Amino acid sequence: MVEKKIGAPQPKNTGEKMIDAIQHDFNKLTKAEMFRRRHFNNAEREALYIAAGGLCAICGITLDELWEPDHIIPFSDGGITDVTNGQATCRPCNRRKGARNA
């Protein structure tokens, strides 16, 4: 049995490692590059899904193959396309939310 030491840093899970890698790449972008991109790429989509545990961030149902990545601060309101401003949502919740803040 492996014992966890209190206060010892825990190893990161796959989703956290992916988010760190994406954030590292994101930090290399210029401000203009950050705001040009509207759609989440495949790695970001996967990271959002893993971070959400396969559940919709709004209603909590299990996500199906039609799930959608969503900007927490809408792109139309200046929200950036990055995992730190993203969430995994089911299609009905994302369509209901529209361009409103989560």
pLDDT digits (tens, 9 = 90+) for 3-46: 555 666 666 777 788 778 777 777 777 766 665 678 999 999 99
Neighbours of 91 (CB within 10 A): 13
Whether 80 is in a domain gets the answer: yes
**HSE (CB half, 13 Å, CA atoms) of 92?**
6
Predicted TM-score (pTM) of this structure = 0.63
- The whole domain housing 20 covers 14-97
Whether 18 is in a domain gets the answer: yes
CATH label of the domain that carries residue 91: 3.40.1800
| DSSP result, 12-37 | P-HHHHHHHHHHHHHHTS-HHHHHH-
Whether 48 is in a domain gets the answer: yes
Q: What is the pLDDT of residue 10?
A: 66
Tell me how many domains the chain contains: 1
Whether 69 is in a domain gets the answer: yes
58-97 pLDDT, tens digit per residue, is 999 999 999 999 999 998 888 889 999 999 999 999 999 8
Whether 36 is in a domain gets the answer: yes
